[in-house]
Structures are given as structure tokens and as C-alpha cells.
Structure 1
Amino acid sequence: MRHITLLLLITCLSACSGQAVFPDPPPRAGSYQLDPPADAPLARITGRLTAAHRGLSGVYPVTSAQNALAVRLAAIRSARSSIDIQYFIFRRDETGLLLTRELIEAANRGVRIRFLLDDFTTGDADRVLALLDLHPNIQIRLFNPFPHKGPRALELLADFPRLHRRMHNKSLTADNRVSFIGGRNLSNQYFGIDKTITFGDLDLLAIGPVVSDISRQFDLYWNSRYSFPVSSVIDYRPTLAQQQDFVDELNSNAQQLLASDYGRSLERSPVIRTLSDDDGLWYWGKTLAVYDPPDKITLAPPEAGRYAERDLLWRINAAKQQLIIISPYVLPGPYYLGQLIAAAQRGVEVHILTASLSSSDMVLVHGAYRKYRKPLLEAGIHLYEMSNARKYKLDNWREGSRSLLHAKAFAVDKQTLYVGSLNLDPRSIYLNTELGLLIESPQLTGKVAENFIENIPHHAYRLELRNGSIYWHREDGEVLTRDPGASLLQRLGSRIGSWLPIEHLL
């Protein structure tokens, strides 16, 4: 959770967090995953692809922002039975409106749609959600909702112990046969459309047995006491004229976006056809859906951290040869800092990629990270900070957007790969709920490790500790003595962040 209002408020609230009290939802009917008809497109395609890989799941990494939207659209358009959507952020922008239109068209052909959204950043999307919920085949629920009675910041102040605990999970599952898991949210910034920011991110497209595990995870959250029907939270009852205006807005947005160079490229994307035809393009292995239970938001640290430790972090601690960590926020705390240093001391080659100050969307968080740089470098850990130079112009419809790191991935000993929503920070480990995939695949993990080592110099600064000072090495050989590319305001914000006693909430 990275929201500027939260960071300003928690400075005042960090010393006065009381016991959270969670309200009970109104009566709701339970619902669960659905299997599609045997002749449904996704059932036929995934059945053919998985036939020679019994008991294994297939994953395909989606790094391109444009392809990430193209494959989501294809999955929604192919669905015949159900679509389950679970996200932290959904915006009323070109991407959000296009996906909304596609969901309505799917619902019109009889597809059941369940959309579970964390309520921290609903913002101007609240009326979109209320309008969607009017469709008989679409159900919308909000996780751990705000009262929606007054200004959001004041509501957070009034009930901080409850409202700062969020669902950070991100998934989209079509017909219980195909799932998307990763770091991307549903807004322009994650699909190369935003005018100012493009988040560099990573999804895994998954098929096989793990998809049912992801669906069970969704059912657990959907039916939990923390998920409220949107109609019980947002008091908006649109008139028929307002509903028609909304339909007109959806159609106009789709026409404009799909007629653009970006949109035409979406429709021509070869990824869908190629992946549907060749199982050799997928990476196969035992795959685990790693997730926190929704009740985690009621637990206090360190008890709440046992879920991440159980399935993922113990593998990091047990690395024997190589450990690669990609996380936009690196706040390991004393325990995991000690584990990383211990790994380096026993001969593990440890690489960490995180955001530079100039490529961070949260400078106060970067301020808390500053103190970890020296001990990591002193231990011989390879530390890199992402440049904000935009490298993939074909992924961006808008010119001039700034590139920021948002992917979360852990590669262990060229054997095990995690991709999901978890950052290496206290908020992910102890406060929010998270979701990711853990795949045992030497082929995929080895390729990720190889590509990382080969390409990192072209996209990130390499940090060096020399005589007690930190130096940043650029690709062209230039050595810088302070955070490269950062503005005066960013430097000031980072310095302030290093002073505030709020790291346990970040």
C-alpha cells in the first residue's frame, strides 16, 4: 500500500494504534468457483496444453505492459462460465473503463462475474462499481471497507487500526482455467497508457492445477466477513439517464483507445495465438499458490508474519548458491537483514534490485530504506537501484512517461521462482494480505537469473561502498556520489522519511 495520504497520517498515528474492531457484513449468499463446459474455449485450449504435463502447472511470464492487457482482454472475451477478479487498485481511466465494458459484454453472454476490490483506493471508481453491480450477472464486493460517509482521510484517522490493514492480493481468473498473478493493478500506469508514469511490472499467466488453488483462495476472501456487497457501502442509485451516460462513456472510451496505435497493437498481439498453440512455450513445474488468509488483517505482528515465513521467506533464508530479490520497496527489518547478511557470509551470491530515489513513487519509504544500503553492501551483497529511464517505448501509448519499478520476484538457487504481490517490507510481511505463485522450475528460474545478471547493468545503477561512502555506477562508466537523477524535493522527502519512526507501518 503506497498512498501519500497514509504516509502523512501514520506519522501522527504510529504511537496511538489501538485495537481494531471489524464490523460484520450484511447477510450475503455464499458462492464458489465454477467449472466451464467441456467445450468452452479456455477449457479446450488448456486441456490440450496440459495433457502431456499431468500434475504440473504451466506458467508464462508476461513482462510487456501491452501484452499484459492484451492477454487479459483475450481471457475475458473467451470466458463462458465465470470471471473472478481480486485487486488492490482499480481506476476509472482508459484501462479501467475498457475492462469494465468487456466485463459487461461477458456478463451479457451469461458469464458470472465476481469482482472483489480492496476499498483503500476506490476513489472515483466507486460509481463505476455501483453501476456494474446493477447487472444481474455481476457481483461487486469491497474488502475491509471505509464508511464512505465523509472525507477519506478523516475516516482513516478515526479508525486507523482497522483501515490501514489492506488486501494487496492481485488476481484475475477466467473459467477456472486461466489465472493472472503478479504485481499489476488495474489502471493505466500498469499497462503503458498513463501520461506521467509507467510501472515496470511482472505477471505470471498460469494454467493447470494451481488455477483451482487460486480460485479457492478467491472463494475464501469473497465469503469472508471482511467482504461487503458494494451496495451496502456506496450509497449511489443511478437514474436511467445516468446509466445511459455511463454506457456512452464506456463505448466512447473503447472506440478511442482501440482505434489508437496502442489499441490496434493490442488487437494484433501474437501472444494469445502463440501460447494457445504450443505447450513448449510454457514453463512446467510443481506450482504453489502462496497466500495469506483474510484473517491476517486482525493479527498483530509478529504472529501475522508467520504466513509469509511459512511458504516463501524460509526458502529465501535457506538459499545455498544464489538469491535474487526484485522489490520496489526493501525494508527487511533487523531479522531479514540478518538473514540476508548470513546468506552472503555463507557464500550465497545475493543480488537485490530496488527502486532508486528518482524512480520511487514513495520517497518517504525510500528514506526508511536508506539505512539498509551500507550494511547490505558491507556484507558483499550486490545492490542495484532501478534507473527511471524509459526503455520500452513500444509499451507506451503516451510519450514522456516516467518508468518506475513495481515487480516483485524472488529467484532462489536457479530452482524456485516467486512472482506475486509481496514486497520485502513490514507492510507486506505483517500488515497486508498478499498473493503469489511459487514454481519449482529450474528452466524458468535459471532463465530469470541469467537475464537478470546480463541485463541489470543496462537498466539500473550498481551501488558500491568505498571508504564509508556510497557510489552509484552508471552503464556508461560514470560514477555518481549521490542519488542519481533525484530532484531537490525528492532528496528532502527521503531525508525526512529517514527521520520518521514509521518503518513498521511501511
Structure 2
Amino acid sequence: MNQLTQRCNINTFKIVTLVLSLLFLSACTPAPERFSNDSEDYCKDISFQKSTTLTEQLAPYSHYIEGGKTGVYVLEQGTEAMFTRAWLSEHAEKTIDVQYFIFSADNIGLLAIDYLVRAAERGVKVRILVDDIMLDAKGDELLILNAHPNITIKIYNPLVNTGKNIVQKLTNLVTDFHAFNQRMHNKTFTVDSAVSITGGRNVADEYFGYDHEYNFRDRDTLLIGPTANNIEQSFNEFWQHSLSVPVTDLLADKATEEALQKEAPNFQKLHQYACNPTNFLPEVRAQIEAMPAAFKKAVDDGDVHWLDNIEYVSDAPGKNDGEVFLGGGGIATSKLIALITQAKKSVTIQTPYLITTDLSKGILKTLVDSGVEVKILTNSLASNDNLEAFSGYQRDRDALLKTGVSIYEFKPDAQIRQKVMSQEMSKQLEQAPIFGLHAKSMVIDDNLTVIGTFNLDPRSANLNTESVVIIPSSAIAKKVKAAMLVEIQPENAWEVTLDWNPDHKVDLTKRLKVKSRIVVPKSIL
């Protein structure tokens, strides 16, 4: 399945017909070979020895951390989000805990794995927890990676993919549709229980501005201090839950097992791939090497804010017990409702998928009627990667507009490309990729910012586990809101009214595809 098709299926697993397509494709399409047999040693001139540790780099800020404050830096650009993860991986001393909905085996994914393996080779304990639905790694690859003594992999809710044949997949879909749809949408990257990154980005080319066809505008937060420990506690809750299953319990590959019994896993092909300048540009590697100095400058310039009362809120594994079919809500849902209903002046929202219910429309109407200005940026049909989600939004768009909120739809050629596309990739491409919105953020009353994984749709509210970081800072709120307001300007988005929308900007075929999704209930989108 090519990258564009895969992207379009990120959320469509809840639609029975498309799930069936995904199942049959995964059963019939052979996985491509990841690496070439190039004999050149690309790593020989690259030094992987670091002169300082993460502890030493954070030592100048220990008085903040010991005083209970968390350092907060909003990662707006895809490149800095990637560089920061790499920097933390290179300097990790004890542990790296990785939790993602999507961890692709594309270029960015392979480079990320190489960083984790190199950390493990230094003695760092690496735990990887990935949701089952979009996992595209081959069974032998997972077993070999897991065979490293310092790497452990678990798969969340493995009903559809890992270790399942087509009959098992179909049986799980038909017999337990509710459990089949309960996915782990959390995204966290935590190092030494001291530093964490969380927000909207998965691990794949398109989340960091490196895809040739389609890239996301997204947002993460870097958290240094006590809040990172809270994220670690949440990770442990997921890791220890029965829904998180070791890959060795799911996969049986006799050839791989026999090979691993004879000799330790060999990661030289992976290392050579990552060292190859075609896959990892030297100028990008140089920017990662400069990250310690860049972080110090960010602190000195006041771009890292040391704050009390940062709150990380995560749903519990499984989210609900299934007593309410495809429903039930969760901790994150309740928290967001409590926050938004307290707004006095303004609420500014970015959400890639906007599918409202009577409850959410009622909340928004109450806010507008009380004088609160509500602005929402979501994807247009032209920028959307999920036709099912757009169908749900399209059916409800007029009713939502009648509540009095202002709605803007992201343009596929938005001019804020410097936040989306890496400069190195831009130079290589003759034609700019399509751009879509993936950031899930909210600013309330210019003093509270919420950044996380939560889409404004029934799936995030009731099925997927979601997480958010709540940041009580007027300085951060004003900065994030300023970026949001730029992104609703005419060069970046269309304003939608009851009399006009930009659906006609796409060809008839795509419009008809959206209309064909009208049979899908909004409650499962």
C-alpha cells in the first residue's frame, strides 16, 4: 500500500468496508525490502560519541526542576520536532519510552529506529509501544529488534494486524466491533523520566515535513521536569495493561528464532541505511549536532518557559468498558469539556477532523450566546486525508455555523510552508506537496493552551485513548494563538459561511467519493 493510500486509511479503520479493504491488502501485498545490499561503509567517518550527557546539559536548570517547575517549549516546526527527538535519543542515559499510534517504516521511521538501536547499544533501556492498526513492520523485523537485550516491543490491542491471519482479522472485526475500534492514539516520547515530547505528531515522513506528496502542519510540546515524570507514569499504565501484548506472544517465526539463537541480532544494514547521506543529509545531521547549543539559546532567549501546574491528562487504556456501544467518553473528554465551558472571552481551535454532536454544538452555542468568540480551523476537502471524517463534518457544517462559530478550512497550498516542509526537502522537489492540518490545539481566553492528540470528533471522545497537555501561561497562549491566527488568514485558509464553502475547489471524483460516505454513521467517525 503506497504512502498516500496508507494516510487515507489512518482513521478509516472504523468503516467496515474500508477495514475489509485494508485487511485484504495487508494479507496479499508483500512487504518491500527495507535495505539495499550496498557494500560501502557510510558510517566510517561519522562519530557517534557524545561529549556530554543529558543530565549534564540539563544541570544548569536543575534549580527550576527541583523547585517543581516544568520547562515548556512548543515545537511548531516539523524539523525542530525531529531534531529534538534525535538530540534526546543521542544523549539518553538510562531509558527511552516510545508510545505512538503510527510508527512507520519509511525514511523518518527507519532513522528513528536507528537512533533507538544506537541508544540501546550504549546500554539505554528502550521500550516501544505501538498501536496495532497501522503497524507496517514485518514480523521478523519486530522479532529481531525485540531480540536486542535492551529493546522491548509491545503492541496495543492486536486484533487487526500483528500475528493475525485474514480469518482471525475478519473474526475480530465481526465478533467484537467495539474492541476492534478501541485504539491507542497517545503520542509520547520520554527520555530518562526527565524529558518528554507529546502532541499531535506520529513518527512518519509526513509529520516532520519530509514526504514528497503530502505533509502535515502539526504541533508538539517539549516538557522538561516533573510533567515528564507524569507522562512516564501514564506510559507505565499502558505498558502494564493487558491490552499491551509483547511481540513475542504474537509472532511465531521459526527461521528468525533459530537465527537469533545462533547469533545476536545484527543491525549493520540499519546503521548503514541511516549513515547513507542519500537517506540522512549531512546538513540535517549537522543541525542535530547543534541542538544542545540551540536549546541553551532557546532558554537564554526566554523561549523555554518554566511553569508550575502543567497538567498532563491521559485516558486510561481501553478507555471504556463497552457497556455503551461505541461510546462512553473518557478522562480527556471530560477535562476538555470542563475547560472550554469556563471560557469568558475567546476559544481558538485547530482540529484536523471536526465532527460535532448535539452536545458539542450545544456547548459552542452557549459560549457564543454568552459573548465568547469561537474560531475553528479544520481541513478543507482539498487538504483532507480522510474522506470519511470530512463526510461527517460536511453533513454537520451548516448546523455548526448556525451556532455562531467562525469556521476556516485549511488550504492544500497554504503559504505557511516553512512550518511544514523542511528546507532540505523543499530544495529537492520540483513541485510542492499537498499540505494538511494535523495539529490538535486550543487556546482559551489568551491564558490557557491545550496541545495534544484529541480531535473534535466522536472517535476521540468515546473510543480512542487520547492525551493532552494543559499549559496555564499567557505568554505561551498568546504565541500559539498568534500562530493560529496567521493560519486562518486568506493565504492559508478559506473562511466558510452558510452561503459559501470551498468544496468545489476539488475535482468531481473526490466530491462524489465524499458523498458516497454519507451512509456511514457520524457516531463511529
The aligned residue for residue 282 of structure 1 is 304
Q: Which residue of 2 aligns with 1:16?
A: none
The alpha-carbon deviation at position 129 of structure 1 amounts to: 2.2
| TM-score, reference length from structure 1 | 0.85
Query: 2: CA distance between counterparts of 1:455 and 1:121?
Result: 29
Specify which of 296, 321, 335 is matched with residue 298 of structure 1. Answer: 321
Moved more, 240-249 or 44-53: 240-249
In the superposition, relative to structure 1, how do residues 412 and 125 fare at CA in structure 2: closer, same or farther (>3 Å)?
A: farther
Aligned with 1:415 (options 441, 444, 447): 447
1:386/1:227 CA distance change after superposition, 3 Å: same
Residue 268 (1) aligns with residue 287 (2): yes
**1:348 alignment partner AA:** V
Q: Cα–Cα, structure 1 residues 341 and 424, in superposed 2: closer, same or farther, change >3 Å? A: same
Using the TM superposition, give the Cα deviation of residue 124 of structure 1 relative to its aligned residue in structure 2, in angstroms: 3.1
Q: CA deviation at 1:421?
A: 0.7
Deviation at 1:105, TM superposition (A): 1.1
SS of 2:158's equivalent in the other structure is: coil
Structure 1 position 96 matched with structure 2 position 109: yes
Question: Which residue matches 2:494?
Answer: 461
Task: Could you tell me which runs of 5 or more consecutive residues in structure 1 were left unpaired when the two chains were aligned.
Answer: 14-38, 472-481
Residues 398-452 of structure 1: CA distance to partner in whole angstroms, max 9, x if unpaired?
A: 6232211111101111111111111111111100101221111111001212232
Residues 92 and 125 of structure 1 are in contact (CA less than 8 Å); yes or no, is this contact kept in structure 2?
no
How many Å apart are 1:61 and its aligned residue?
A: 1.1
Identify which of 54, 72, 77 aligns with 1:42: 54
SS at match of 1:298: coil
Please say if residues 75 and 174 of structure 1, whose CA atoms lie closer than 8 Å, have aligned partners that are also in contact: yes
SS at 1:181's partner residue? strand
- How far, CA to CA, are the matches of 2:134 and 2:118 in structure 1? 25
Q: CA deviation at 1:332?
A: 2.0
The answer (yes or no) to whether the contact 1:332–1:425 under 8 Å persists in 2 is: yes
Indicate the residue corresponding to 1:80 in structure 2. 93
The question of 1:171 aligning with 2:184 is answered no
Q: Count the aligned residue pairs.
A: 466
Kindly tell me: are residues 307 and 40 of structure 1, through their superposed partners in 2, closer, same or farther at Cα, counting changes over 3 Å? farther
Match of 2:231 among 209, 214, 232: 214
Query: 1:258 & 1:83 partners in 2: Cα distance?
Result: 27
The structure 1 residue matched to 2:200, chosen from 152, 160, 183, is: 183
Residue 287 of structure 1: how far off its partner (Å): 0.6
Matches within 5 A, 1:326-365: 326-365=350-389
Who is 2:222 aligned against?
A: 205
Helix, strand or coil at the partner of 2:147: coil
Residue in 1 aligned with 2:405? Answer: 381
Query: How far apart are 1:140 and its partner, in Å?
Result: 0.6
196, 215, 218: which is aligned to 2:213?
Answer: 196
In the TM superposition, residue 235 of structure 1 has moved relative to its aligned partner by: 2.0
Structure 1 position 323, deviation (Å): 0.1
Residues 215 and 446 (structure 1 numbering): CA distance in 2 closer, same or farther, change over 3 Å? same
- Rate the CA distance shift 1:224–1:52 in 2: closer, same or farther, 3 A: closer
Deviation at 1:243, TM superposition (A): 8.8
Whether the aligned pair in 2 keeps the contact of 1:365 and 1:494 (CA below 8 Å) is: no
Q: What residue in structure 2 maps to residue 234 of structure 1?
A: 251
- 5 Å-filtered alignment, 1:394-405, equals 394-395=422-423, 397=425, 399=429, 400-405=432-437
Q: State the AA in 2 paired with 1:434.
A: E
User: 1:2 deviation in Å?
Assistant: 5.0
Q: What is the identity percentage for the equivalent residue pairs of Structure 1 and Structure 2?
A: 30
Asked whether the equivalents of residues 177 and 207 of structure 1 are also in contact (C-alpha less than 8 Å), the reply is: yes
CA distance in 1, matches of 2:231, 2:463: 21
Aligned pair partner of 2:506 in 486, 493, 503:
486
| Partner-residue secondary structure (3-state), 2:313 | strand
Q: How has the CA–CA distance of structure 1 residues 124 and 308 changed in structure 2, closer, same or farther, with 3 Å as cutoff?
A: same
Question: What's the counterpart of residue 25 of structure 1?
Answer: none
Shift in CA distance, 2/168, structure 1 to aligned 2, threshold 3 Å: farther
The structure-2 alpha-carbon separation of the partners of 1:444 and 1:258, relative to structure 1 and needing over 3 Å to count, comes to farther
Distance 1:156 1:6, change over 3 A: farther
Aligned to 1:29: none
The verdict on how the C-alpha distance between 1:193 and 1:253 changes in structure 2, with shifts beyond 3 A counting, is: farther
Alignment check: 8 A CA contact 2:12 2:388 kept: no
Counterpart secondary structure, 1:100: helix
- Contact kept in structure 2, 1:190 and 1:198, CA below 8 Å: yes
Q: Give the counterpart letter for 2:396 in structure 1.
A: Y
* Match for residue 247 of structure 1 among 254, 267, 271: 267
For 1:7 and 1:304, how far apart are their aligned partners in 2? 16
Instruction: Give yes or no for the alignment of 1:123 onto 2:153.
Output: no
CA distance in 1, matches of 2:89, 2:252: 29
1:505 aligns with 2:524: yes
Change (3 A) 1:449 1:103: same
Range with greater deviation from structure 2 (389-398 or 420-429): 389-398
CA distance 1:12–1:191, shift in 2 (3 Å): closer
Label 1:259 to 1:267 Cα distance change in 2 as closer, same or farther (>3 A): farther
CA shift in 2, pair 1:491/1:55, >3 Å: same
The answer on 1:470 being equivalent to 2:500 is yes
The root-mean-square deviation of aligned C-alpha atoms, in Å, is: 2.7
Map of 1:69 onto structure 2: 82
- Residue 32 of structure 1 is matched in structure 2 by none
1-structure distance, mates of 2:512, 2:318: 38
Residue identity in the other structure for 2:63: A
Partner of 1:57 in structure 2?
70
Letter in 1 for 2:338: W
Matched, 1:312 2:344: no
Structure 1 residue matching 2:98: 3-state secondary structure: strand
Which amino acid is the alignment partner of residue 510 of structure 2? Q
Change (3 A) 1:118 1:259: closer
User: Secondary structure, in 3 states, of the residue corresponding to 2:358?
Assistant: helix
Distance 1:260 1:76 in 2: 16
SS across alignment from 1:495: helix
TM-score, normalized by length of structure 2?
Answer: 0.82
C-alpha distance after superposition, 1:293-320 (max 9, x if no partner): 1141534449731412432221012211
